[in-house]
Amino acid sequence: MKKSHLAVLVSALCLLGPGKVQADVTPLADLSLEELVKMEVTSVSRKAQRLSDTAAAVTVLSREDIRRTGARNIPEALRAVPGVEVAQIGAGRWAVSIRGFNGRFANKLLVQLDGRSVYTPTFSGVFWENIAPVMEDIERIEVVRGPGAALWGANAVNGVINIVTRKAAATRGTMVSASVDDRGRPEVAARYGFSLADNLDARLYARSVNVSPAQNLAGDSLQDRQRGWHAGFRIDRASAGSEGWSVQGEVFEQQSPERDSTATGLENVNFSYSGGHLLGLRSWAVGNGEARLQAYADQQTLQMPQYGRMTVQTADLDFQHQLAPIGAHELIWGLGWRSVAYRIDLSAPFFVSLEPDSSNERIISAFVQDEITLVPRQWKLLLGARLEDNSLSGFEPQPNVRLLWTPTEVDSMWTQWSRASRTPSIGEAYSNVFYGIDPKTGLPLRSLVSASDPLDAERLSAFELGYRRQLSGGSVEVVAYHHRYDGLFAEQYGPVVAAPPGSPWPAEQMLYRNNVLNADSVGLELSAEAQVSADSRVSAAYTVKDVSARMPAGLRSRSVNVRVTEMEPHHTLVLQYDRNLNDRHSLGVTVRKVGAISAGIDGYTATDLRYGWRPSRSFRLSAEIQNLFDPAHPEFISDDFFPAEFGEIPRRLLLKAVWTH
């Protein structure tokens, strides 16, 4: 984007006449200093606590924040969070990570939706195209940057994203939303909430997914249009104090075609997802404390006619007990159990195979955390640890130490040291993958990648130092960190095995997946937001980081972990400006400047412009242009197990209407 374009846009916004804050909307900037200080989060300590009392780098996206961004999905809402890397690969396909190691199946990140882990055990990553809640029903998104494994367990290595939906009592009535893009692809969502009895509420919802395809470098369609639907329910029972229960469930289907960019002979890969889950939560008082028991069952099926069919069934049980304060100590402890059963029926064993093709993996865990008040209202020490035993890598202790200093009611400083582990995924532990072309030379050579037995967990030691200040109508946060990774997976070159006489295959290169790679990640995260006038708000987030991998001397390897260090922009800057023109009209601008990626993507600047109109209390209209000054640009190179054709993200015009009653 040319500088003159941005200058004209900013000048036009500044010249807009004074307006009034929308009467029907309460932006975050309108919260008082007292309300900001008391804003609560639950992801840091598994209990509700004030944001100012958290010894962690935390960003909370409120329902109003999400609405003002015009986000159609979770990754779009996360683009402005400092330390979070979000890149679009194609239609509905995303790479999302925290503090590095990004990829389509970024495996060092824990993502939860109402307490249910949504990662895919076969890859330890997230199919973001399948995470499609009704955006209007999201209460908040909590993003914790840095390890959370001491409380949440393996895979909460670089951070935790916790998506919290609204309680059923807050969604009584009818809501219908409809949107369409410039390609004429419509999406519709509907929700109906009602009361079943006193303190017993329910909602039903359904939504469609219809994402227009991305394009290749020639401007032609990638033919990766995403289509699908989701439908579900939620029932909440509220009682006095902490008593209550909740039940929710969902079913879905999704179609996601892709073009394979490798020399496997499988030009098109048609992903077909289906599945559902059922979750129950019960909370009750225990003395002056509180206990919670959560259980869920989840089944997902992935069908690819060219590869085969994979079914994964997960059962999870989680108990926690928050004790009443004992002197200066606030204790919370818990137990967990998870079972993951999978079965894979392959139609292309010449390309990939799993041994065994079905199994049942399990994780047993226990955690404890003691929050010690050293000096009332000033110094707190948090000591915690989670002990896990899993069938893939064995016993994993994951300790955490945090120190928090709050010299004033609005200032917080903290430091922490954490140890986290990432257990091998089912695919990493059991898969054998064949390639028809040598990935290093491009010459005809059949390569076989298999796992060493056994694989150990990848491990992280992390140090963090942070400062946060709450302002009237805003905040400032500065965080520095150093992450040291040991035992990352790499594919170690073995011998070349000659093909038998008369074989149609060339020689075979053996590669072994092993824990032989180390890496370092250092970074600085800066963020600030402020209410600059009665009707406008501005925010900025800047991240600078460096990720480097270290290979043992003399080792020849081909590693996804090495490649992802080449997929990291060194600098990222996000600027947001929101203005209420009057009590019915609003305007928002987001500018993202992302540095170049050494793997072959130039840096880019993307500007999104959004206009909102509320003709009545029950009706909203909005229009958004994404990539205002850029017809198309690439953001990421998909280089994982299913490497898709290189694509560009085109400019998009989006129209949306929301009706509530």
What's residue 22's pLDDT?
39
- Find the length of the chain: 661
The pair of three-digit structure tokens given for residue 352, joined into one six-digit string: 């990939």
What's residue 562's pLDDT?
56
Query: Residue 80: pLDDT above 90?
Result: no
Q: For residue range 598-625, what is the model confidence (pLDDT) as tens digits?
A: 777 899 999 999 999 999 999 999 999 9
Percent helix, strand and coil across the chain, each rounded to 5?
A: 10, 60, 30
Q: Note if the bond before 356 is cis, omega within 30 degrees.
A: yes
Domains and CATH numbers, the chain: 3-660 (2.40.170.20)
Query: Residue 1: pLDDT above 50?
Result: no
Q: Shortest CA distance to 376 belongs to which of 321, 322, 324, 330? A: 330
pLDDT band at 368 (very low <50, low <70, confident <90, very high): very high
- Of 392-406, 505-519, 534-548, the poorest mean pLDDT is in 505-519
Please state, as a whole number, how many other Cβ atoms lie within 10 Å of the Cβ of residue 615: 10
The pair of three-digit structure tokens given for residue 186, joined into one six-digit string: 């419509």
If you ran DSSP here, which 8-state letter would residue 498 be given?
P
Helix (H, G, I), strand (E, B) or coil at 30: helix
Q: How far apart are CA 517 and CA 512, in angstroms?
A: 13
Q: How far apart are CA 98 and CA 78, in angstroms?
A: 10
Q: For residue range 269-283, what is the model confidence (pLDDT) as tens digits?
A: 778 999 999 999 999
Q: How far apart are CA 218 and CA 638, in angstroms?
A: 18
Nearest-Å Rg of the Cα atoms of the chain is 25
Q: How far apart are CA 368 and CA 373, in angstroms?
A: 16
- Residue 661 corresponds to which amino acid? H
Query: Residue 49: pLDDT above 70?
Result: yes
Q: For residue range 258-316, what is the model confidence (pLDDT) as tens digits?
A: 766 554 445 567 789 999 999 999 999 988 889 999 999 999 998 887 778 889 999 99
If you ran DSSP here, which 8-state letter would residue 584 be given?
S
What's residue 472's pLDDT?
79
Q: How far apart are CA 434 and CA 491, in angstroms?
A: 13
- Of 71-85, 325-339, 496-510, the poorest mean pLDDT is in 496-510
Q: Are strands 508-533 and 536-550 parallel, antiparallel or unpaired?
A: antiparallel
pLDDT band at 122 (very low <50, low <70, confident <90, very high): confident
What does each C-alpha distance from 330 to 38, 325, 352, 561 come to in angstroms?
19, 5, 50, 39
More confident residue, 222 or 414: 414
The pair of three-digit structure tokens given for residue 191, joined into one six-digit string: 């929700």
Query: Residue 644: pLDDT above 80?
Result: no
pLDDT band at 400 (very low <50, low <70, confident <90, very high): very high
